[in-house]
Amino acid sequence: MEVDESTYAVSVAGNKARLDRTRRIKLKPLNKASIAIRLTLIALSLLTVYGIMSFDYKDINFFEGIFSTILNIKTMFFEPRLQHFTFIEALYQVTVTLGLAFLTTLFGAVIALFLGLFAAQNLSTKSVSIGIKGFVAIVRAVPTVLWVLIFAVAAGLGSVAAVVGMTFHSVGYLIKTYSESFEELDEGVIEALKASGANWWQIVFQAVIPSTMSYIISWTFLRFEINFAVSVAMGAAAGAGGIGFDMFMASGFYYDLREIGVITYLILAFAIALEVIATKIKGYLKASVL
């Protein structure tokens, strides 16, 4: 059957018109929320410009500052050298920082695993779940450094305050992640175990923990990596020792940029190694589950 050329042209034109309509960007009308967001962005932009213009640069030339920064970065990362301690001592201090991160993650994971079961709505009552989640939301809202300084008032600056403060924040972080993993479990599995006469602990250890083990390991390793980075900062801020204190001394006391470069490379190497190990473990768990 032959198609009339005029009919074909009309259909093609209609298809192009519909395609053009679908490609048009639909602009939403202004409402109170969008106006407030735009005004906020404009105000922040104006404050930023005012801050840059009113900042006291103390007669420092902008381009000279950029050139000096480039030279410092070149010295730091392309001419690394240890002068105030040996490479073996640096490795030992990194392991101290790693041990601090491991200890806080271990304490936090054990406490969070127990409380995370009660924070999950499918394993606990609604009031208990809301209470625990509300409390840990407050804990997470306060930065780790502030928790360390709060506990330092009672225990003094040092490793004890760092461990307690980092553990406190780790518990708040892991309870949220663990409870959300528990809540993703199929309700049919829990109902089937309840119908067969299983008690709460049997449901937890026979269904909940085995089904969410890969998620638990993943979130725990992620927190371990975060705690490793925080431990570096706590070594200087809270006097917890480790490689963070050596970096503080090299930057603020000796001002040895080459030594800072070596320490930075060591921290990056350990961080990459942790990521590789975590990826291997997660891959092994996924393969064992399949």
Tell me: pLDDT of 45 over 90: yes
Whether 75 is covered by a domain: the verdict is: no
Cβ neighbours, 10 Å, residue 234: 30
Cβ neighbours, 10 Å, residue 213: 14
Q: How wide is the angle at C-alpha 235 spanned by C-alphas 231 and 241, nearest 5°?
A: 115
The percentage of residues in the chain with a pLDDT greater than 90, rounded to a whole number, is 13
pLDDT-derived band at 178 (thresholds 50, 70, 90) equals very high
The percentage of residues in the chain with a pLDDT greater than 70, rounded to a whole number, is 86
- Range scoring the smallest mean pLDDT among 62-76, 151-165, 204-218: 151-165
In angstroms, the CA 35 to CA 33 distance is 5
What is the mean predicted confidence (pLDDT) over 280-287?
A: 74
Whether 243 is covered by a domain: the verdict is: yes
What six digits make up the tokens of 102?
């491991």
The distance of Cα 5 from the centroid of its chain, to the nearest Å, equals 63
Whether 15 is covered by a domain: the verdict is: no
Whether 54 is covered by a domain: the verdict is: no
Q: What is the pLDDT of residues 218-255, one digit of tens each?
A: 889 889 988 998 888 887 777 777 888 888 888 878 88
The distance of Cα 78 from the centroid of its chain, to the nearest Å, equals 29
Q: Is 244 exposed, middle or buried (CB count within 10 Å of its CB: 0-12, 13-18, 19+)?
A: buried
On whether the CB atoms of residues 228 and 98 are closer than 8 A, the answer is yes
Whether 181 is covered by a domain: the verdict is: yes
pLDDT at 41: 92
How many CA atoms, within 13 angstroms, populate the side-chain half-sphere of residue 182?
27
What is the mean predicted confidence (pLDDT) over 189-209?
A: 83
What are the CB-based long-range contacts (under 8 Å, 24+) for 265-272? Answer: 265/77, 265/80, 266/90, 266/91, 266/94, 267/94, 267/232, 267/243, 270/94, 270/98, 270/228, 271/225, 271/228, 271/229
Whether 53 is covered by a domain: the verdict is: no
Tell me: pLDDT of 1 over 50: no
Give me the chain's average pLDDT, please.
82
Number of structural domains found in the chain: 1
Q: What is the pLDDT of residues 110-142, one digit of tens each?
A: 999 999 989 988 888 888 889 999 998 988 888
Whether 1 is covered by a domain: the verdict is: no
How many CA atoms, within 13 angstroms, populate the side-chain half-sphere of residue 153?
5
Torsions phi, psi of 254, nearest 5? -85, -30
Q: What is the CATH number of the domain that holds 268?
A: 1.10.3720.10
Domain range for 278 is: 86-289
On whether the CB atoms of residues 243 and 97 are closer than 8 A, the answer is yes
Whether 44 is covered by a domain: the verdict is: no
